Structure 1
Amino acid sequence: MAGGKVSARQKMINLMYLVFIAMLAMQMDKEVLSAFGFMNEKLETNNVSTTEKNNRAYANLETKASEQTEKFGELNNQAKKIKSYSSDFYAYLSDLKLKMTADLEDKTAYESMDKTEFLNSYFFIGDNYTEQGQEFLNKIDSYRKNLINVLGENSRFTPIIKDRFDTEPVINSKTGLTVEWLNARYEGFPLVASLTNLTQMQADIKNTEADIVNTLLGGKLEEALSLNNYKGIVALDKNAYFAGEKVTGKIVLGRYDAEMVPDNVILNGSDYKNIQSGQVIIDMPAGNVGNHDIKGKISFTQDGKKVEVPFESSYSVIPEPGNAVVSADKMNVVYRGLDNPISVSLPGVSDNNLKVSATGGSLSGSNGKYSLKPGAGGTATIVVSATLSSGKSVNSKATFRIKDIPAAMGSVRDQYGIVRMPKSGLANSPISAGLPDFEFDLDIRVQSFKIKVPGELTIIVDGTTLSAAAKKVLEKAQRGDIINIYDIKATANGVNINQVLPVNIELTN
């Protein structure tokens, strides 16, 4: 820390700082040092376990890529890049840890690892960084950028990767001053604390690999890799036919995966060859009025063995219809305050010959595609009438339950629940709300919210971003504090949302 050419004043400051660190070290509780050491041991054990699990996932993906190149080939290439980047960075950190403890006879004598000299001189020279210190920062930045390049900037894991491997300057919670990341994390810390910090970074590498390989690359890779989780599905163009018509449709795997190409298909006891893009294309006479079965099996190769996936379905050949078919495009309910898409059809009758009306709401649209906006009641009914080619009149209706828009969820940076982020990020990030599992595309706008900092009064904020008063209270929060954003008021497509669940922010600095 005192190396290089510096002024006499700077040398004096450095000397005083060293004296301060020495005094702090003398007062350091030996049990605290031991606690760091035991934590380091647990992290290293966990890293070994996570590495074994990751290797099995990589191996499974490698096997599937050899059997189904079209489906798993590109995913396997991405996984190889992630594994290579992670292994290189992990090995670099392991080598650095070995250098830190090279002069120690007993690597588990944690109570004696209270010195700060190694990283102080290895990373820092005067007010600048050594070549090794800059290399350490470059390694972290390079790893973060390489992973994001593989996954894409819009990946769900990109914010997590940026947070885990962030090297931006941090704000000292006590002084309020901005401190360079490397200084804040490694300058003046006991050896055992820095050692544990590096092991935690290795754990972040392993956990990041596990998150990506087991979730992102496979969309829950364990499910994707097992054909036992697939089901043969007969997807007919319609499930009832007039006498003399042809039955048309497809037989597909449950995922409708065009890249899963079967070895062979048995349909109703015979080999079937009409296979296109992983789909078995059905094209055969419908038969007489009555019920008919479609069944068989699709064969694939998995782990070098033949795996048969059975499928079975049935269809009915019916005479002219007597009732219309009405279905909600989104769900079996309609939502108050929204334009709910409704499809209306009647087999044998063209859409423009249908007469469609509604009670319990207003209806708009034509030619089989309508939009229903429910009223204040509890149900809405679609009424359909038509005249068949035989001259027979048909009348039918369908009733839907009317529900309010469900509770939304508060969010920051498109993250829900408990969000880990720095204080500066929260101060500049807008508060949003969303319905992650809702089928409709809604324009949700936050009108106001309340923010509660531990030990401080609740602040009411109008709009989406923190007011000056809220930022002032936020400045008093410390690392690890949970900031509660609640009582969020919002509208969806101009309609008030009855409830918006809170979002909590755990401060990382």
Structure 2
Amino acid sequence: MKFTFFTLLFTTYFFGFAQDTLVAKKSNLGLIAATEMNVVYRGVRNPIEIAVPHAKSYTISGLGVKKENGKYYIVPGAGNEMVVTLEIILDDDSKVVEEHVFRILNIGKVQGRINERNCKDCIVIMQISELQNAEISVYFEDFIIEQKMKVSSFSIKFDNTMNLEIAGNKIDEGTFNQLKKLKNNFEFKIHNINYTEGLFGSFQSAGEIHVRISH
């Protein structure tokens, strides 16, 4: 699983809180790395990275902030945004409190692709040669996090009587030989796409891929 991280840098604005405490709505002391657009997704564990240079210690808190095996995650709930609070103890034992705001988005539908191609409510037209070792993959619509998911199996339905189940993420040689026998403009459906992911959430089945053969 690969995530694209972006380090948040802020201009500092301090407000009096207590004798040895500074409350910072924005600060450049603590760095919280999340997605490029400062977004977290509802229903999954969003990994974050934290760095606080020149500090004795720090604590992070917020609704949906969790720690497991030394790593931090955000699991957002309801609403459109959430606040992560970072309390920093500096070398002189003074404390700075920072607030970092994240937008909360819902995950879009899971779509299937063949050789990185697909479209909504339409048919993918492919030359027969393009189907040899063609790779099946899946992706989330409107998903900023770069998420690589592995297809473990899929099915190809030629008509109401013939359905092939294929292990792995590519059209194998036997299936390709079957496809070569089909006539020009014949249409088939790739469905039942099974995939694994590392976001630790519940996701729907991947959408179907409709393909038309062009000789």
Larger fraction in helix: 1
Aligned to 1:441: 146
Q: Secondary structure at the match of 1:499?
A: coil
Q: Is the CA contact 1:410–1:500 (under 8 Å) kept in the aligned structure 2? A: yes
Aligned to 1:361: 66
1:359-417 deviation line (CA, Å, top 9, x unaligned): 6422688xxxxx53346x84897442234688654445668688786543322222222
Aligned to 2:186: 481
- Structure 1 residues 400, 507: closer, same or farther in 2, change over 3 A? same
Q: Over alpha carbons, which structure has the higher Rg?
A: 1
1:454-474 deviation line (CA, Å, top 9, x unaligned): 465232222122356644653
Please report how far the alpha carbon of residue 442 of structure 1 lies from its aligned counterpart in structure 2 after TM superposition: 2.8
Q: How does 1:36-115 map to 2 (within 5 A)?
A: none
Q: Secondary structure at the match of 1:439?
A: coil
Aligned to 1:386: 88
CA distance in 2, matches of 1:381, 1:327: 12
- Structure 1 residues 241, 404: closer, same or farther in 2, change over 3 A? closer
Aligned to 2:124: 419
TM (norm. structure 2) is 0.60
| Number of aligned positions between the proteins | 186
Aligned to 1:408: 110
Please report how far the alpha carbon of residue 422 of structure 1 lies from its aligned counterpart in structure 2 after TM superposition: 1.8
Q: Is the CA contact 1:453–1:474 (under 8 Å) kept in the aligned structure 2? A: no
Q: Percent identity between the aligned chains?
A: 18
Q: Secondary structure at the match of 1:477?
A: coil
CA distance in 2, matches of 1:355, 1:334: 25
Please report how far the alpha carbon of residue 446 of structure 1 lies from its aligned counterpart in structure 2 after TM superposition: 0.4
- Structure 1 residues 363, 398: closer, same or farther in 2, change over 3 A? farther
Quick one: which amino acid aligns to residue 373 of structure 1? Y
Which structure 2 segments of 5+ residues have no match? 1-8, 15-20
CA distance in 1, matches of 2:49, 2:83: 11
Instruction: Select which of 338, 341, 354 maps to 2:48.
Output: 341
Q: How does 1:15-414 map to 2 (within 5 A)?
A: 238-239=10-11, 321-323=22-24, 325=26, 329-330=34-35, 331-334=38-41, 340-343=47-50, 350=53, 352-358=55-61, 360-362=65-67, 372-374=72-74, 378=77, 382-387=84-89, 393-395=95-97, 406-414=108-116
- Structure 1 residues 360, 239: closer, same or farther in 2, change over 3 A? closer
CA distance in 2, matches of 1:239, 1:340: 24
Please report how far the alpha carbon of residue 323 of structure 1 lies from its aligned counterpart in structure 2 after TM superposition: 2.7
Q: Is the CA contact 2:192–2:206 (under 8 Å) kept in the aligned structure 1? A: yes
Aligned to 2:209: 503
Please report how far the alpha carbon of residue 506 of structure 1 lies from its aligned counterpart in structure 2 after TM superposition: 2.0
The structure showing larger relative contact order (alpha-carbon pairs under 8 Å, at least 6 residues apart) is 2
Which structure 1 segments of 5+ residues have no match? 1-236, 243-319, 366-370
CA distance in 1, matches of 2:113, 2:92: 58
Q: Secondary structure at the match of 1:474?
A: helix
Q: What's the RMSD between the two structures over aligned residues?
A: 4.3
Larger fraction in strand: 2
